[in-house]
Amino acid sequence: MKLVMRILPVMLLFALTAPAVKAQAPTEVVYYGFDPDIVTNYVADNRRTLGYVRVSVELMLPSKDLLRTIEYHEPIILDTIIGILSKQPEQKIKSLTGREEVRQQILEQLQFILKRETGQTMIQDVLFTKYMYQ
């Protein structure tokens, strides 16, 4: 009880001195992952060997209400991700800046496709939680 009494005056002091701020509800963020990992070949400089990349992708969604729609459109989402990864040159796959460019390209393309299909922006971000190449 003493703890509450000590905190309350501090909260009142803060409320009196702080500018009026709108109370915002915490934003809900949901992640949608693909199982199994995405594995595809990429354009290797050396044509004698095949290069491949294995990626775990998580889509950041603004609401859990979108999960069913994302699940319904999973085939076109996977096709887009695999299509973009398979067209990348080896230097882009193996560098950190290239990886970020690929991630950004996937995000933009998925937002465009889902906006066309559903009429709304559904994906806030794309995260690579596992990224391996050979």
Tens digits of residue pLDDT in 60-119: 999 999 999 999 999 999 999 999 999 999 899 999 999 999 999 999 999 999 999 999
Classify residue 55: in a domain, yes or no. Answer: yes
Confidence band for 11, pLDDT divided at 50, 70 and 90: very low
Count of CB atoms situated within 10 Å of the CB of 8: 10
Classify residue 19: in a domain, yes or no. Answer: no
Classify residue 37: in a domain, yes or no. Answer: yes
What domain range includes position 129? 28-133
Classify residue 9: in a domain, yes or no. Answer: no
Q: With 60 as the cut, is the pLDDT of residue 19 above it?
A: no
Classify residue 128: in a domain, yes or no. Answer: yes
* CATH number of the domain within which 95 lies: 3.30.479.30
pLDDT number for residue 49:
74
pLDDT number for residue 22:
56
Classify residue 11: in a domain, yes or no. Answer: no
> What total of structural domains would you count in the chain?
1
pLDDT number for residue 79:
96
Classify residue 23: in a domain, yes or no. Answer: no
Classify residue 53: in a domain, yes or no. Answer: yes
Q: What is this structure's pTM?
A: 0.76
